[in-house]
Amino acid sequence: MVELTGADSKKKYSGKLRKVAVWDDENEQTIEIITNQTSWTANTISELYKNRWQIEIFFREIKQFLHIKSFIGTSQNAVMIQIWTALITILMLK
C-alpha cells in the first residue's frame, strides 16, 4: 500500500494507493503499476494494463502512419468515425 505524503500530492489525492509489481516476460523486466483499485488481484490489474498499453500503441501507430497530430472531435461518435476512417485509409494504402 502507498500513501502520498507531499502536501500538494495529498491535497490532490488523499486516498490510499496500491503498488503492483508484474514480471514482463517479453522484455524480461519488472513493471510497477500504481493503482487505487485495491480489491482486484494483481493478475487482473496486470492484464488490464497490458490491454490498455496495446490500445495506446494502436493510437500511436495510427497517428504516426497517417500523420495525425490530434483527433478533431472528442465525442465517442467523432472518435469512432476518425478511427474507422483511419483504418479504411490504412487498408486502401496497403
Q: Average pLDDT for consecutive 10-residue bins of the chain (94 residues)? A: 90 91 90 92 91 85 75 85 84 81
Q: Confirm whether 15 is domain-assigned.
A: yes
Report yes or no: 42 and 22 within 8 Å, Cβ to Cβ. Answer: yes
User: What's the pLDDT score for residue 30?
Assistant: 94
User: What's the pLDDT score for residue 54?
Assistant: 87
Q: Confirm whether 53 is domain-assigned.
A: yes
- CA of 69: how far to CAs of 65, 78, 90, in Å? 11, 15, 16
Q: CA-to-CA distance for 90 and 92, rounded, in angstroms?
A: 5
Q: Confirm whether 90 is domain-assigned.
A: no
User: What's the pLDDT score for residue 17?
Assistant: 93
Tell me, yes or no, if the pTM score tops 0.85.
Answer: no
Q: Confirm whether 38 is domain-assigned.
A: yes
Range of the domain at 7: 2-68
Q: Confirm whether 20 is domain-assigned.
A: yes
Number of independent structural domains in the chain: 1
